[in-house]
Structure 1
Amino acid sequence: MSYNVQVGSGGYWGWKILERTMVRQRSAFLQAHSMKVSRDYFRETIHNIKSAEDLVNDRKLFSIVLRAFGLDSDISNRFFIKKVLESDPADKASLVNKLADKRYADLNRGLALYASSQEKSVAVDTAEIIDRYESRSFEKNIGERHAEIELALNAQREVLNIAISDASENAKWYRILASKPLRQVFEGAYGLGAGFASLSIDRQLSELKDKTKKLTGDSSVSQFELRDKLEVVIRRFLLRGHLGVSSASSRYVNALALLRA
């Protein structure tokens, strides 16, 4: 049996429900039979994988790995992922280092299959990949009904990772802009329309920094190392999203909530 995470009607109020029930619901979700089957299969199979070709040819294992790194939509892109996995991360000219979306670099490092062509042996951190898989499966379960909460959970984890990295502030913002899920959260929080993506990348950077400073008093990504700072952005994203789907009779109430936030 599977377990469906309950967040009421979603939106910001669903987010608050999840905050109160996270520990209990996550535990119930991870104990579901379907999760146990996937974990067991990964543990039993991953150490038999010697090349990128082996991985992409095992669809079940491939889907688990892609889920772990937030790349579910690439399940049909076997050739592309194979090339990503075979790229040498130490070579600045390699494919994986040319991709703006750093989820591919994380996948490359996590599996370390590029080393197989050099006859090296690199241990896969099974526990870390399973933890990634569990977290994203939990989020995906919610996202099947409430995509906005899946996006918020992803941002809560990924923005923190970017915030504590050693990259420059501009580089941190570029990583956010390169990630479609993170872009959705920031664009939604700031009410940026479809035309935002057509602006030059430098203009997009400037806009995000300006709007972030107006909202939090600080234009840096590093500030999001503090959970409360990121919560301000997530709350605005969820409330604005709810305004977009609310009935006319309830918009006044939600507008007041947004102003108070």
Structure 2
Amino acid sequence: MITTYTSYAMISRDLPKSLARVAEKPDVARETEYYLSKIGSIKTLDDFMADTRVYNYALKAHGLEDMAYAKAFIRKVLAEGTDADTDFANKLSDSRYASLVESLNFAAHGAAATSFEKAQKGVVDKFQRQTLEEEAGAENMGVRLALYFERMAPTIKSGMEILADDALSEVMRTTLQLPDEIVGTDLDRQAKYIEEVVDIEDFQDPAKVGKFLERFTAMWELENPSESYDPASLFTSSSSGISTDLLISINNLKLGGK
């Protein structure tokens, strides 16, 4: 039986080949072709929201596929941008929303937002990577978690950012074997503990990330027999702090439920 680490390493060490294989899958190729054929002609946020296939493609590329139904929420994220600390995306602990704005920054660039490479090839690259991770997770959720952590590691700046993301938090909890007395405490204390036992700056070093994930994959196999683990919840809206669904409910009150 192939181990979690071996499976992860096989994908990670030849990532371009792995991504090329995903890109050639008929369903991926079809949606990518459509996205690239349409995105350049989209000039407004309304245009973007109106094209369901483009909208869904972009959200999946940023790991937000499960939030596609919340159009008023996503509209608010994109309409405000990220230039000010008070902008909606910057208030959310989940960095995926700010990443979506970075790719499609209608607030800052207006009609030119979709003309940049980050809105075209950049989103396609993200979509293919997201699909690769999901495909790996169908076989072994530990591999998906490792690939996700590897991708996100350079963006991690604090223990709180880890706790705000259920998938990153699961990797950290598993790797460090966090005791129940820590997991059950408030988030500030958990974040402080993580920063005491892990040098967050190490996540800027691919070699150190690799060592960290080698330990994670070993601990994952000890903790999670495949027949007893339900992986789905780790890549839905974060359950740390105020949930996204609650934020949507609050926001809908402000927007009149539109």
Deviation at 1:43, TM superposition (A): 0.7
2:222 is the alignment partner of 1:231: no
- SS of residue in 2 equivalent to 1:114: helix
Within the alignment, does 1:210 sit opposite 2:196 as a pair?
A: yes
**Structure 1: gaps (5+ residues):** 1-7, 163-170, 213-219, 248-261
Residue 168 of structure 1 corresponds to which residue in structure 2?
A: none
Deviation of 1:67 (Å): 1.8
> For 2:12 and 2:96, how far apart are their aligned partners in 1?
26
- Decide whether the 8 Å contact of 1:186 with 1:233 is kept in 2: no
Q: TM-score w.r.t. structure 2 length?
A: 0.76
**TM-aligned CA deviation for residue 113 of structure 1:** 1.8
Task: Confirm or deny that 1:174 pairs with 2:148.
Answer: no
Alpha-carbon offset, residue 200 of structure 1: 2.3
1:157 maps to what in 2?
Answer: 151
- Whether contact under 8 Å (1:112, 1:124) holds in the other structure is no
Quote how far apart the aligned CAs of 1:198 are: 4.4
> How far apart are residue 29 of structure 1 and its match?
2.4
Q: Report which structure shows greater RCO (CA 8 Å, sep ≥6).
A: 2
Match of 2:140 in 1: 146
Paired residue for 2:71? Answer: 78
**Counterparts in 2 of 1:56 and 1:198: CA distance versus 1, 3 Å:** farther
* Residue deviations 1:40-91 (CA, integer Å, cap 9, x gap): 1111111232333332332221221012112122122221111101113222
Contact in 2 for aligned 1:52/1:86 (Cα 8 Å): yes
Equivalence for 2:116:
124
- 2:104 aligns with 111
Q: Is the 1:172–1:221 contact (alpha carbons within 8 Å) kept by the matching residues of 2?
A: yes
Write the letter of the residue equivalent to 2:19: R
Distance across 1 between alignment mates of 2:66 and 2:55: 12
Instruction: Report deviation, 1:10.
Output: 5.2
TM-score scaled by length of structure 1: 0.75
Query: Which one-letter code corresponds to 1:29 in the other structure?
Result: V
Does structure 2 retain, via aligned residues, the 8 Å contact 1:10–1:149? no
* Aligned counterpart, 1:60: 53
Segment of structure 1 superposing worse, 43-52 or 104-113:
43-52
SS at match of 2:158: helix
Amino acid corresponding to residue 189 of structure 1 in structure 2 = T
Q: Secondary structure at the match of 2:40?
A: helix
Identity of aligned residues (%): 22
2:241 match: none
For residue 153 of structure 1, report the CA deviation from its aligned partner. Answer: 0.6
Q: Which runs of 4+ in 1 moved over 6 A?
A: none
Separation of aligned partners in 1, 2:21 and 2:135: 13
